[in-house]
Amino acid sequence: MSLDAPSGQPLIQLEGITKTFGTGAAAFQALKGVDLTIERGDFVAVMGPSGSGKSTTMNILGCLDVPTAGKFRFRGVEVQALDRDQRSLLRRRYLGFVFQGFNLLARTTAVENVELPLLYRGERKAERRAAALRALDQVGLVPWADHTPAELSGGQQQRVAIARALVTQPDVLLADEPTGNLDTERSIEIMELLTRLNKEGITILLVTHETEMAAFARTIVHFRDGLVERIDRNVPTHVSAQKGGTV
């Protein structure tokens, strides 16, 4: 599957996106007509209270769910026109996911965890290992490649999870509360890593409820009551944590 967008085409476009769960009297409209454009190379933080629609929107952007109505274009292609298998291919080839809970296999080494997406693709062992080591190098963890999650700190585990998301060389990294299980210093170091990856060309979409973490982004999208309330264009002004220690 190849998505070759015309020159100048936004990476992501949402137009009039609605999402309704349930039917009849039990129906709940989570999204009420979301319009959003995300340009290639942006670093976007998505914020909003519980029930505001931010997680539903991110599930649609990640091809984990489909809208009830409206248009979702990824690199110019209307995603809702794709069948389930095509959306799955889009997700595996163009998107990387990072979650709050790390989601690492406990009895598997860091490098083996990073290899998993390529294993599912059916790539050969030597190619998987080389790609996984390159991804670990991007997050500064090659010396810990043979360590299991139990032998790593929380920050290191999240770096392994980020490497796993990077190993497929995605266009977009979707990070759902990636610092939620980390202390402040480790959180800042993870956000600094995401900032560096963004500067290297990866588009970042971050869900966070922490203003301090959103301050790393260049675009902050505020959701409320199923709609985009406002969009702030941000010049990151965060204060880096004192360097030192093991992440």
Reference 56, options 102, 18, 99; nearest CA is 18
Residues of the chain with pLDDT > 90, as a percent, come to 80
Q: What's the chain's average pLDDT?
A: 90
pLDDT of the residue at 239: 45
Helix residue ranges, H only, 37-153: 54-61, 84-94, 110-121, 125-138
With cut-offs at 50, 70 and 90, classify the pLDDT of residue 247: very low
pLDDT digits (tens, 9 = 90+) for 33-92: 999 999 999 999 999 999 999 999 999 999 999 999 999 999 999 998 999 999 999 998
pTM of the model: 0.87
The whole-angstrom separation of Cα 176 and Cα 187 is: 13
Residues of the chain with pLDDT > 70, as a percent, come to 92
Taken in order of first residue, the domains within the chain and their CATH numbers are 40-64+91-233 (3.40.50.300)
